[in-house]
Amino acid sequence: MKVTIILLLLAQVSWAGPFQQRGLFDFMLEDEASGIGPELPDDRDFEPPLGPVCPFRCQCHLRVVQCSDLELGTNPLKSSGIENGAFQGMKKLSYIRIADTNITSIPQGLPPSLTELHLDGNKISRVDAASLKGLNNLAKLGLSFNSISTVDNGSLANTPHLRELHLDNNKLTRVPGGLAEHKYIQVVYLHNNNISVVGSSDFCPPGHNTKKASYSGVSLFSNPVQYWEIQPSTFRCVYVRSAIQLGNYK
């Protein structure tokens, strides 16, 4: 009996194949062939992690966020919410836009480095000379779509390098003073106001030898002034007739 059992065990050993040394790579191939292996994530369910978003109109690089100019439009700002000199520490600031808010006056103590100031679509009722004092580099002033009825004398003298003035869609009854004496202003938008009279010295100096840049755009349409009553000499410092836009009052 014992001999029979021994013979059977020897037979099973002889039927088995010879032993071969196998590595990890061989077992991995077997797993791939049999379809058995670690479960991989489905690409359709994979969502990359969201990183920080660079703020609008800024430039981002690694841990540095560079933003220029104080865009404050479409905020529930009031004049009392902007402290006097709030921007004074920004010595290189060149552009400020505070549009479509509830401010009723031009902010005080603006930095002298400004070249553009946009205050359109607010509730400003008056332009006072003190608010523009020291803005020697200002080239463009946007005050459209406010409720401005008065521009104080001397306001434009505080902006000696102004080239564009937008005062359209306000409540002005006359052309702002100081345009004739201003050397560099070239574009003046005054349409959609309540201007009923335009004087012969409102835009140009009395003498022809006075140094003054020629206007490239003056809009007076949609005012109650009768354009045929405006004296031809009113625009004697305008060298391109198409620069003047007149029209009937709606």
Q: Tell me how crowded residue 171 is: count the other CB atoms within 10 A of its CB.
A: 14
End-to-end CA distance of the chain: 126
Edge-to-edge strand list for the sheet holding 187-189: 95-97, 116-118, 140-142, 164-166, 187-189, 217-219, 244-245
Residue 15 lies in a domain: no
Q: SS3 for 244?
A: strand
| Domain-embedded: residue 130 | yes
Q: What is the pLDDT of residue 44?
A: 55
pLDDT on residue 54: 73
- In which element (H, E) is residue 245 found? strand 244-245
Q: What is the pLDDT of residue 55?
A: 64
* Tens-digit pLDDT profile for residues 40-50: 555 555 555 55
For position 19, what pLDDT does the model report? 45
Domain range enclosing 231:
68-249
The C-alpha atoms of residue 130 and residue 72 are separated, in whole angstroms, by 22
In a domain, 84, yes or no: yes
Rounded to whole angstroms, the Cα distance separating 53 from 219 reads 42
Beta strands 164-166 and 140-142, pairing class:
parallel
Q: Is residue 228 one of the residues assigned to a domain?
A: yes
Q: How many domains does the chain have?
A: 1
Give 10-residue mean pLDDT values along the chain (250 residues). Answer: 50 49 45 50 54 67 60 62 71 87 89 94 94 94 97 94 98 96 95 95 80 89 91 88 79
Kindly state whether residue 123 falls inside one of the protein's structural domains: yes
Burial 72-104 (b: 16+ CB within 10 A, else e): beeeebebeebeeeebeebeebbebbbbebebe
Q: Can you tell me whether residue 81 is helix, strand or coil? A: helix
Query: 80 in a domain, yes or no?
Result: yes
Is the whole-model pTM more than 0.85? no
Give the up-direction half-sphere exposure of residue 205: CA atoms within 13 A in the CB hemisphere: 13
> What CATH number corresponds to the domain at position 148?
3.80.10.10
Residue 121 included in any domain? yes
What's residue 174's pLDDT? 96
- Alpha-carbon dihedral angle through residues 108, 109, 115, 119, given to the nearest 10 degrees: -20
**Which position has the token pair 């003054």?**
212
Residue 169 β-bridge partners: none
Could you tell me the two tokens for 91? Answer: 């010595």
Q: What are the C-alpha distances in Å from 32 to residues 17, 135, 160?
A: 23, 76, 81
Tell me, yes or no, whether 9 lies in a domain.
no
Instruction: Give the pLDDT score at 52.
Output: 64
| Cα–Cα dist 52/60, whole Å | 10
